[in-house]
C-alpha cells in the first residue's frame, strides 16, 4: 500500500479544480513549512513561550526517543513528507542554530505552535505569526539571504521556484476568536472573511519572494479534539457541531478563493488540502484505520492535558497506537500518518453553503454539544 505521504504528494498535483490531471510524482527541490503545531518541528523551543513540547512524554517514539519540540509522540507530516520525497529524514526548524548547508538547500521549517494568520493570535501565545513582528515570512526573507550566500543568486531563485510551500494554519485564530472581544465586534462569517483576506495576503507575499507551488490546508474538525469536547461539558463526549460547522464554512470560502488567487499570481500552482475530512473519516470509522480511542488523548486523563500539562509526571496510556490523539489537541504519529493522505480539491461529502442549516458532520457518538475552543 502506498505511503500516506506519497498519496499526499500524488494528490498535490492532481486537484481537478486548480492543478494538472496528470498524476506524476513531483520532484521538489525543497519544501518550506509555514503554520502552527501541525507543522512545528521545534521553533518554539527557541522562543520565550509556554507553548512548548520540549519535555517528556513528547518525543517518546521519535528517533533517539527524546523531545524535540514536536507536539507528538513521534514525527509530524513535514518529517514524513520529507522522508518520502527523499529530501532528508526530518524537517529541521529554521531557528535551529546547527542547520547544515544541505538543510538550507532542501528546505526548512518556519512553523510555530500557537500561531495563526491573525497576528493577534500569535501575540497571545508569544509565538511566530505569519505576517507581523518576528514573523515567519520575515524569517523566510532572512533564509533567502543565507541561501544566496551559499549557492548564489541564480541557484537560490531556482531552488525557491521549484520548491513546495506548505501552509497549515487558522485553527488557533478561530479558537481565540470564540473567547475574545472580536466576537462582540464581528460575527463568525465576517471573521472568516477577514482570515481569508489574511491568507491571500500571505500567499501573495510568498509569491513575491519567489514561491510558485503552494499547498494550503483547510481547517480540521477542531470541535472533535479532546480538549474542545471536554470544555463543552457534555457527559457523552461528542464533537462540538457548531465549531465544526464554522470550520466547514471557512473551508468552502477558502476553496472558492484559490482558483482566482492562482490566476492572479503568475506561474503559480495552488492546491487545497482537505484537513477536515482527512480527520473526520478516521473519527467516523476508527476501526478501519486501527484506532479504538478517538475522544481522549494518550497523555494523562486525555481530557485537557497539553503542552506543560502533559509532562514527566503525567501517566501515558498503555497502547499509544490505539489513540488518534496524543495529548488533548495533537494527534499521535499514527494519527498524523493516517491524516497525511489529505484529499486535495475534493468536494465535501455534505454540501456546505452559508444558507444551509448546520449539518452534523461529527461522528455521532452520543449526542450534540455546545462549547467554545481554547487556545491550541
Residues marked active site are found at: 37, 327, 330
* Burial bucket for residue 304 (CB in 10 Å: 0-12, 13-18, 19+): buried
Interstrand relation of 269-274 and 213-217 (parallel, antiparallel or unpaired): parallel
**3 state SS of 86:** coil
User: Dihedral of the CA atoms 58, 42, 191, 166 (nearest 10)?
Assistant: -110
Phi, psi of 199 (to 5 degrees): -60, -45
Contact 247/222 with Cβ under 8 angstroms? Answer: yes
- The answer to whether 116 and 173 have CB atoms below 8 angstroms apart is yes
Q: Across the chain, which distance is largest between two alpha carbons, in Å?
A: 60
Residue 327 neighbours by CB distance under 10 Å = 29
Report the chain's C-alpha Rg in angstroms: 19
Q: How many CB atoms lie within 10 A of CB 139?
A: 18
Which residue's C-alpha cell is 474542545?
Answer: 228
Helix (H) or strand (E) holding 255: helix 241-264
Helix (H, G, I), strand (E, B), or coil: what is residue 40?
A: coil
Q: Print burial letters for 78-99: b (CB count within 10 Å at least 16), e (below 16).
A: bbbbbbbbebbebbbbbbbeee
367 CB-side CA count, 13 A: 8
Grid cell in block for residue 201: 495576503
Amino acid at each position: 500500500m502506498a505511503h500516506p505521504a506519497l498519496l499526499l504528494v500524488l494528490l498535490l498535483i492532481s486537484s481537478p479544480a486548480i492543478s494538472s490531471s496528470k498524476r506524476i510524482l513531483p520532484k521538489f527541490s525543497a519544501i518550506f513549512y509555514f503554520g502552527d503545531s501541525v507543522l512545528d518541528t521545534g521553533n518554539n523551543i527557541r522562543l520565550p513561550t509556554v507553548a512548548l513540547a520540549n519535555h517528556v512524554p513528547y518525543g517518546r517514539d521519535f528517533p533517539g526517543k527524546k523531545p524535540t519540540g514536536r507536539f507528538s509522540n513521534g514525527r509530524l507530516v513535514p518529517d514524513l513528507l520529507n522522508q518520502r520525497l527523499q529530501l532528508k529524514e526530518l524537517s529541521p526548524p529554521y531557528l535551529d542554530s546547527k542547520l547544515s548547508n544541505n538543510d538550507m538547500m532542501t528546505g526548512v521549517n518556519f512553523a510555530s505552535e500557537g500561531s495563526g494568520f491573525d497576528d493577534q493570535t500569535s501575540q497571545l501565545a508569544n509565538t511566530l505569526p505569519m505576517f507581523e513582528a518576528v514573523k515567519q515570512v520575515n524569517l523566510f526573507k532572512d533564509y533567502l539571504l543565507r541561501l544566496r550566500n551559499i549557492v548564489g543568486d541564480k541557484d537560490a531563485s531556482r531552488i525557491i521556484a521549484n520548491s513546495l510551500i506548505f501552509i497549515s494554519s487558522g485553527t488557533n485564530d478561530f479558537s481565540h476568536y470564540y473567547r475574545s472581544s472580536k466576537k462582540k465586534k464581528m460575527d463568525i462569517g465576517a471573521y472568516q472573511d477577514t482570515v481569508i483576506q489574511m491568507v491571500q495576503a500571505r500567499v501573495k507575499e510568498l509569491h513575491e519572494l519567489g514561491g510558485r507551488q503552494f499547498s494550503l490546508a483547510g481547517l480540521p474538525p477542531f470541535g472533535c479534539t479532546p480538549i474542545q469536547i471536554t470544555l463543552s461539558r457534555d457527559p457523552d463526549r461528542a464533537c462540538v457541531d457548531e465549531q465544526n460547522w464554522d470550520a466547514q464554512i471557512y473551508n468552502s470560502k477558502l476553496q472558492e478563493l484559490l482558483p482566482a488567487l492562482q490566476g492572479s499570481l503568475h506561474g503559480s500552482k495552488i492546491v487545497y488540502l482537505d484537513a477536515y475530512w482527512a480527520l473526520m473519516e478516521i473519527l467516523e470509522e476508527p476501526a478501519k484505520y486501527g484506532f479504538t480511542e478517538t475522544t481522549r488523548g494518550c497523555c494523562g486523563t486525555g481530557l485537557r492535558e497539553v503542552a506543560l500539562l502533559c509532562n514527566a509526571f503525567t501517566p501515558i496510556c498503555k497502547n499509544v497506537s490505539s489513540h488518534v490523539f496524543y495529548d488533548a489537541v495533537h494527534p499521535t504519529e499514527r494519527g498524523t500518518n493516517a491524516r497525511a493522505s489529505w484529499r486535495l480539491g475534493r468536494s465535501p461529502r455534505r454540501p456546505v453553503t452559508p444558507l444551509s442549516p448546520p449539518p452534523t458532520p461529527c461522528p455521532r457518538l452520543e449526542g450534540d454539544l455546545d462549547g467554545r475552543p481554547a487556545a491550541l
